[in-house]
Amino acid sequence: MSKDLTKLFTEEEKSTPELQQHVKEFYDLVMKERALKKDLEELQEKRMAAEETLYSSLEDANFELIRTENGTFSRRIDLYANFEPGKKEDGFTWLKEQGFGDLIYETVNSRTFSAFIKDFKKDEMAELPEFVNMNLKKKIGFRKK
């Protein structure tokens, strides 16, 4: 997986062997991470298929659960609910009528908010309120050819 990346540096750039080593180390780790992510996705797909098979087997055998030396495996059905798009306000009104208005709270998408702050800060005269926190994280961008 590791390639000789020193060819990326020309004489004019006068990169140091230390810099070349840092680039190579970073590249190798990025490639290893990508391979692991791919392996993880494949493993998750296999696990989901195995889960469906086990669920069907337990259901066919009319078992709610089975105990093994590795642990207890049980059938269950999880319910996930949300409001139809465009019906959120109707849903909020309904929840309040049912006495469950405390389930309602506002959120702000962190990526969207960060993009807004970045754009807001382009105006050097703009001042952020004291309750806005900003954290910077130094990163290296990398795209495979």
Per the rule left: phi > 0, alpha: psi between -120 and 50, beta: everything else, 137 is beta
> Quick one: average pLDDT of 48-56?
94
> Given the structure tokens 């929840």, which residue do they identify?
95
At residue 7, the pLDDT reads 59
Cα distance between residue 80 and residue 85, in whole Å = 15
- The answer, yes or no, to whether residue 39 has pLDDT greater than 90, is yes
Cα distance between residue 25 and residue 22, in whole Å = 5
Is the Cα torsion angle 129, 132, 138, 142 positive or negative in sign?
negative
pLDDT digits (tens, 9 = 90+) for 112-140: 999 999 999 888 888 888 888 888 887 87
Cα distance between residue 122 and residue 102, in whole Å = 38
Q: Please give the structure tokens belonging to residue 144.
A: 């495979």
DSSP 8: G
Alpha-helix residue ranges (DSSP H) falling in the chain? 17-60, 88-97, 110-120
Q: Please give the structure tokens belonging to residue 145.
A: 């050819």
